[in-house]
Structure 1
């Protein structure tokens, strides 16, 4: 038994020396003596494994071409405050190793093998935008073909920097980049190419993407600029990944409730101006809208000023203006019913034709009464001599600065003026609200 060990060790030594000699000659074909139906003898590849620290080329003046592709399988998080995109990728690298070739017909029909990636030379491809430590799991394997082509698939959880524009939130689209490059080999030593077409990468990513929540993949494009660092020039491939936010969550939870509240506030103008519940109703709406904004604040971006924040500020401003309008009309009605001041002729002639054209400045007293909307019971008129002492009171016979109007007529004028102002301000409110919301919608569609 002891005499057999030197013989076996000699066989392994001769096989290793023969493989090393093959690597230094013109032929790099691996000896198939280590191949059988039960597996492959590691000694057949030992010469290749010993050279993993060196770039596998027969002529160092010829750069190694590495073909790159990837599959975007998940969009995990988009942080607008830190401007970061967290995604999960499968990066595929393909290159040729001229020292790994064999004849499948002589090697029991084996065309492809899986070899531990730790035993092979691997290109130092990284993502330029990555802001996190590479968390690639250990113990990965690579496919090795009989022609010496190596295919290495590498899963990566990538946290990359991305210039996010949240102005159009929640109808925003983002364009992030993944730039693949080498940090060691210049263009004299390594060139990058495409293993798949861009449309294949896009279709594969859409089919396997796992997150069907907030973001969806729109498309992928590429560019091939060179990266210059000092006097060194590096090859790189830049992929532009376009993603779009699904806005349904924000439409249901933000835009729809806000639109309902502002619509109710507009309808509250149809409450009678003399009603004492109009102002408290608007105050309740205003407080409810503030509570709504506080509750939904977590759904809004933490940084920047998106257009939806402008929309909410606009709705809040409209509610405040509506409340101020109600306060103003209430004040006018209070003044009109307590101590109505004399109405200037220009105000009387300017406002009343808007509601009663041709009736504001009549010549006959009866036409004036009709134009003011007053009934004979409210205004003094020709009465019997016996009725004069009963109907006329001191407050009603006071004239309006010599204009010939009694206090009752003056009250009616100011009340009518208050209703005219209420209708006018309501129309201005609707006009401003419609134009503002239309402008916001147009900006969102662009």
Structure 2
């Protein structure tokens, strides 16, 4: 289909030339008669053709984070010297430049090495501008799908660096050579933009790479690296903040009295809600060997919620215990650590059965531990402890994330 289109376009072009400038008509016939686009246009068989490749414009379209694929539009400027496309302007009415369809001319076989497609050639078919010295100039726009490894460590405040590398594929270095342009090395290209609301392009610069392919020697390629910044407002407002708010609700369970069984129900409900948000976060993140910081934070918070539920279960259970009396060391330790109030109760309420015939009560007193007070004290300690831990973990998370 493409061959038919080029052939039809060529006949149309020839018809317009016949109706147009006769000097241009003669020039086109002279240049393309016996011209073979399959043959390298060099003056000598062993002469290397120098290819000048630069990037003029980059437009970000989309990035598929699941596939690690960057889709973009790139304008590539190419120029080289074609020995068979030279003429004397005086012989053709002073014509200095000529425009021809690029499919009619020899072109270097440049490919994108990290393409996600089936090795597409550089750019689309365009018109080429040729001057009388044989210099061929063209700007080839193209849409490319390139591999881009996404680093999700600081998602959604992440920066991504994606590169596209172009180099000859079939021809040897003795046949064509990409020339390095020192003044453009590691410099931003002329223009770059983004048509995607989630990402903004911060920089786009080109540089030349020299690779040694044994035993063929050193080859030169051209790479375009793009620095992109994600807009985090959407994810922070719709995922992270709701996650933090729902997670903090589990701490409010310690504000309920110890005899309220809804403390455990509240914790389980919060855990179910956090599990839902975790699945939503997983769907938003690409598969990566690096665990994102937000994933670590979610894991820590879920562990804290689980511990809170266990603490509430223990508090509710302790609240059901009957008061204990005695002077054992573990009862004294509980009173000391939990600041539980103890009561001195005379032992006369518990008369020794062996002395019932005498009727004299024991004079020894006992300390009574009220487990309801222990549960209430544990409730307060857990509230302040988990509140402080949650605030500290969340503050550290945002400091590291935004830094």
TM-score w.r.t. the length of structure 1 is 0.70
Structure 2 match to 1:145: 131
Q: CA deviation at 1:436?
A: 3.2
SS of the residue 1:422 aligns to? helix
Is residue 2:372 matched to residue 1:415? yes
SS of the residue 2:179 aligns to? strand
CA shift in 2, pair 1:64/1:441, >3 Å: same
Q: Distance in 2 between matches of 1:403 and 1:289?
A: 55
Alignment RMSD (CA, Å) = 3.6
Deviates more, 1:151-160 or 1:193-202: 193-202
Whichever of the two has the greater Rg, that structure is 1
Q: 1:404 aligns with which of 354, 365, 368?
A: 365
- Checking the alignment, whether the CA contact within 8 Å between 1:186 and 1:232 is kept in structure 2 is no
CA shift in 2, pair 1:281/1:120, >3 Å: same
Structure 1 match to 2:324: 341
Q: 2:51 aligns with which of 41, 62, 66?
A: 66
Q: Distance in 1 between matches of 2:110 and 2:252?
A: 63
SS of the residue 2:369 aligns to? helix
Is residue 2:303 matched to residue 1:317? yes
Structure 2 match to 1:197: 184
Q: 2:312 aligns with which of 326, 339, 353?
A: 326
Structure 2 match to 1:159: 145
Q: CA deviation at 1:123?
A: 0.7
CA deviation map 1:214-267 (0-9, x unaligned): 453444352421241433442222333333332222212211110111222223
Equivalent residue pairs, number: 369
SS of the residue 1:191 aligns to? strand
Structure 2 match to 1:178: 164
CA shift in 2, pair 1:210/1:292, >3 Å: closer
Q: CA deviation at 1:138?
A: 6.3
1:47-446 mapped onto 2 (5 Å cutoff): 47=33, 50-70=35-55, 71-80=57-66, 82-102=67-87, 107-108=92-93, 110-133=95-118, 134=120, 139-193=125-179, 197=184, 201-206=188-193, 209-214=194-199, 216-295=201-280, 297-302=282-287, 304=289, 305-335=291-321, 339-342=322-325, 345-347=328-330, 349-350=332-333, 352=335, 372=342, 404-405=365-366, 409-411=368-370, 414-445=371-402
Q: 2:31 aligns with which of 39, 42, 45?
A: 45
Q: Distance in 2 between matches of 1:284 and 1:58?
A: 80
Q: CA deviation at 1:148?
A: 2.4
Deviates more, 1:415-424 or 1:34-43: 34-43
TM-score w.r.t. the length of structure 2 is 0.77
CA deviation map 1:298-340 (0-9, x unaligned): 32334554332222222222222111111111111111xxx23
Q: Distance in 2 between matches of 1:180 and 1:137?
A: 11
Q: Which structure features the higher share of strand residues?
A: 2
Q: Distance in 1 between matches of 2:317 and 2:303?
A: 21
CA deviation map 1:49-84 (0-9, x unaligned): 61422222223443211111223222322334x433
Q: Distance in 1 between matches of 2:235 and 2:215?
A: 47
Q: Which runs of 5+ in 1 are unaligned?
A: 1-33, 361-370, 382-391, 396-400
Q: Distance in 2 between matches of 1:302 and 1:113?
A: 51
